[in-house]
Amino acid sequence: MKRFTPTFLTLVLAVSTFAQSPARNPRLSDSFANSTGALDVIVKYKSDPSDSSQDPHHQRVTARGGSYKATHHIINSASYRLNASQLADLANDPDVEFVSPDRRVSSLASVLTDGEGLPASGSSSSFSSMSKTSSSSSSSSSSSSSSTAPVIDYFRETVHSDSATSAGWDGTGIGVAIIDSGIAVNKDFRKAVVYSQSFIPGDSSTADAYGHGTHVAGIIIGTGYNSWSKAKYQFGGSAPGVSLINLRVLDANGNGNDSGVISAIQQAIALKNTYNIKVINLSLGRPPASSYVSDPLCQAVEAAWKAGITVVVAAGNEGRNNSAGNLGYGTVLAPGNDPYVITIGAMKSMGTTSRNDDLIASYSSKGPTLIDHVVKPDLVSPGNLVISIAVPGSTLANSYPANVVPTSVYSYTGSSNPPNSYMLLSGTSMATPVASGAVALLLEKFPTLTPDQVKAKLMKTASKSFPTSSGVTDPSTGIVYTSYYDIFTVGAGYLDTGAALSNYDNASGSALSPTVSWNSSTGTATLNVTGTNVIWGTNVIWGTNVIWGTNVLLTGSNVIWGTNVIWGTATTAGLNVIWGTTATAASSVIWGTNATAAQ
């Protein structure tokens, strides 16, 4: 709901510039440059510290005037509050591997009154024209506007999750950890939340004061109970049989910290066998300020992945962010920048169940990732204008009453359906649980799949039929945002749950998202693949032409690398969009050699 500050450009320039300083401490994050006063930090050690405050690791921090907060065993780390003047001395401790800031994370949802959400008026009367359309008579177009886009998203039908229901799959037996702002009690949940815990210091409540986590949960497990009786519309999720594990890390304003998220991930791993936790949903993020190799949040999601939990992460809503002069490229947030996890961008269903007219949301963050140049997102799924469970009295419901669905929309006059049961939100926050629901369905049918096999299967079966480009106009500014359907915008394609459930190929090996490099002298880009990568390697079980096809990847004038899209002279900035020498900060912004090694 908020733009992140400082800008991505500022962050990367800070990383790049400070990395060149001869005084740089390799064990200390560059983000601490010029910091003063008390700071929240995460310290990674060479050996795992204990939970006891008497542990020597913690005592060495308290001896420097710091205070111990929590131990993060999954990454051999602990979080503290410590004065900035003591950081250099702490970093010189021989048992310290790296010291990072305990950075702030935020939810990734928006009310979007800027051409891709509610009309600019924000009037609740916008819902009055909602009509359930079984298919679209229009074909893919190059533009859309708020005046014609219906206010509804049929995500279940769009990704063919409804076919799972008809086949008897609903996610039963699968535990999904929602690491978010909490989950409110609601009759739309078939099952009660099986476990709840807060990781917000000083606030033990696991209820949803913000209203985001419940909306996310409803996209996965909502039954539509509150819109069932004499309903005109039923708003439910794609996997209503799953068990929810509620791990609250975001406060009433939708904000939290790395340490809280890491503690929640650690608890999900600890409870894995108790509740058969197979999926973690992270509809939150922050700008990457270091390589994923040293980022404690990224290392935590990797630990969950390696423990057998499929981690699904929002890409971010920064696709319109042109602060670095790159037209929104390079804006994927952490931990979605990690090559292990499944990173999700947002599509617009255009108010129909057909996929033929669907378009990318211009705000959906685009890769490649900053610093490491990882190809992201991995997939896209519906995330615009999604109606799910509202929390009456929450911050979102109170702040944006026009987004609360009127009772008249989902029940006949005089019915007993409760008011304020549903709310409309947009963002990659909403697209992520659509994918998490698909993962739960997949694991119910194929319980032995590893996270890598899940990722490979979803990417293989994703739809790869897109228009060349599309655009949307912000009615308040008149700015036209043009999106190109390249590898950094839509990844492997559009999630198709039905196709994934019908696929019986089980890959072996790694499904790490690859990095990409650009050769300015030859004007060519190369995917960097190492090891037995099941998605990008030449020995992939479904052949080299399936994931991207020979007409998509690294060939002549095609969509991704062609002369008319990213690299060519016909775009707004031509070759200078990402790689060019005249873009602000040029090579140091995304691809510079100094940024690559920065931490």
> Cβ distance 179 to 247 under 8 Å?
yes
| H/E stretch holding 100 | strand 96-101
Task: Give the alpha-carbon dihedral of 421, 424, 428, 434, to 10 degrees.
Answer: 50
Of the candidates 79, 125, 126, 87, the residue with the CA atom closest to the CA atom of residue 103: 79
**Dist. CA 194–CA 102, nearest whole Å:** 29
Query: Is there a catalytic annotation at residue 429?
Result: yes
| Buried b or exposed e, range 183-221, using 16+ CB within 10 angstroms | bbebebbbeebbbbbbbbeeeeebbbbbbbbbbbbbbbb
Of 160, 212, 215, 373, catalytic: 212
Active site residue 180: yes
Pick the catalytic residue from 30, 102, 153, 180. 180
Q: What CA–CA distance (Å, rounded) separates 208 from 428?
A: 19
Q: Indicate which residue of 146, 429, 436, 469 is catalytic.
A: 429
Q: Give the torsion through C-alpha atoms of 562, 566, 569, 572, to 10 deg.
A: 150
| Three-state DSSP class for residue 264 | helix
DSSP string, 359-401: EE-TTS---SPTTT-B---SEEEE-SSEEEE--TTSHHHHH-G
Write down how long the chain is.
Answer: 599
Cα separation, 187 vs 224, whole angstroms: 9
- Closest to 460 measured CA to CA, from 490, 428, 499, 487: 499
Q: How far apart are CA 215 and CA 222, in angstroms?
A: 9
Helices and strands: H and E segment counts in the chain: 16, 22
552-577 as b/e, with b when 16 or more CB fall inside 10 Å? Answer: bbeeeebbbbbbebbbeeebebebbb
Residues designated catalytic: 180, 212, 429
